[in-house]
Amino acid sequence: MMKFHETIFKVITVFFSIMIFACGKSNEEPKQAISNVSLIENSVVEPRISSNQSSIHDDITNSRSNSITRAISKLTPCVVGINVTQIREYVTRNPFSDWFFEPYFPERRRQKKVKSIGSGFILSSDGYIVTNDHVVDNAVRAEVFLANGEKYEAEIIGSDYISDIALLKINGNNLPYCELGDSDEIIIGEWAIALGNPFGLFELGQQPTATVGVISAKNMNFGRQEDDRVYQGMVQTDAAINPGNSGGAMANALGQVIGVNTFIYTGNQQTQGSIGLGFAIPINKVKEVVEELKRFGKVDRQFITGLEVENLRLSVARYFGLKSTKGVIVSNVERNSPASDAGFNVGDIITEFGGEKINSTKDIWKVLDNKDARAGDLIEVIILRKTRLYKLQLKLGKVS
């Protein structure tokens, strides 16, 4: 019996020993697990970029660069901002608008220096710059600043009021200059980029501001304005052009300058910003004017035709069997003149001149005036000779 109790005691002792050992092992396992978790949290896992991800990144980067961004990058170094000090005249008139008070309140004129801004672009590495005449008109000082931060005092080489084109010169060497395009090759609907100094923002970022649109129209003829400027063959764009953009470059997607930004239409007198109607002087016309300004400092508008005309009287119209007196009759053609070279004869009746219907001699001079005609210009003329219509090309000649 004693042995039986001893046996039972030994079994119980072994059982509890096993249980205590098992519990000790179970308490150690969570600690090991927590320790493992801590190691994972503290470790740094380097990301692995696959070749496909790298290719996608390159594609996105490349897609951001296109013909427009490349053109702007190409043009930025050669587009300039211009600060101008001008002399402007102000008139104080009789406030009573009555002849009785005129001797006591005579008209007074005073001059004042004012500062204005504009844009331009470099034509050659030796520092010739083109801008609008109205940017530097009556200027006593003009300062040009480039995208690299450099500033120069500019000399006005020549300025043409009528065409609104001016040529400046800065003293520099190996300057970046713009590539000029061919405005005769402009396509309606192609990209148009306007670069310049709107509201004087150029100096803030040391770079021209760029806006993008399309060519909306070309060969827009506004004729002679009230201020005597003549705008013919203008290029229209919806690229935003604002005050300060005058004289800046209008370019195509190839980064070629195709025009000089000149004026805009605004909604009303209170709204001075762009509404998508901007106009530029075509670069081919600019090239011609700049060449004359560079050589002579002015534009020569003298020309000859060798043609004399008279108004068509009723008796003459009846003699030729005409139903109206619309048109002018050629009364004389000088020998060896542009008119004789074009094939005019005495008695020819001019019905159209430069694309305009002609009723009197005044109409011919109006066409020449509105076209800002100069020697070398070609004028298309429709004449009535006996009973047939002919088309002649009159090339205006130089005055010797």
Looking at the annotation, which residues are catalytic? 134, 164, 246
* C-beta of residue 81 within 8 angstroms of C-beta of residue 245: no
In terms of Cβ atoms closer than 10 Å to its own Cβ (0-12, 13-18, 19+), residue 183 is buried
β-pairing, 388-395 vs 378-385, is antiparallel
* C-beta of residue 261 within 8 angstroms of C-beta of residue 247: yes
- How many whole angstroms separate alpha carbon 282 and alpha carbon 184? 8
Q: H or E segment at 308?
A: strand 307-311
Phi, psi of 142 (to 5 degrees): -135, 125
- How many whole angstroms separate alpha carbon 257 and alpha carbon 259? 6
Which amino acid, 346? Answer: V
Is the alpha carbon torsion for 164, 165, 170, 172 positive or negative?
A: positive
* C-beta of residue 160 within 8 angstroms of C-beta of residue 172: no
- How many whole angstroms separate alpha carbon 345 and alpha carbon 338? 12
Tokens (6 digits) for 199: 């509201």
* C-beta of residue 141 within 8 angstroms of C-beta of residue 85: yes
Q: Which of 121, 120, 119, 117 is nearest to 78 (CA)?
A: 121
Helix runs in 272-343, H state only:
283-296, 314-319, 338-342
Helix runs in 120-246, H state only:
133-136, 202-205
Look up residue 322 and give its DSSP letter: -
Helices (H) and strands (E) in the chain, counts: 9, 22
Phi, psi of 289 (to 5 degrees): -65, -45
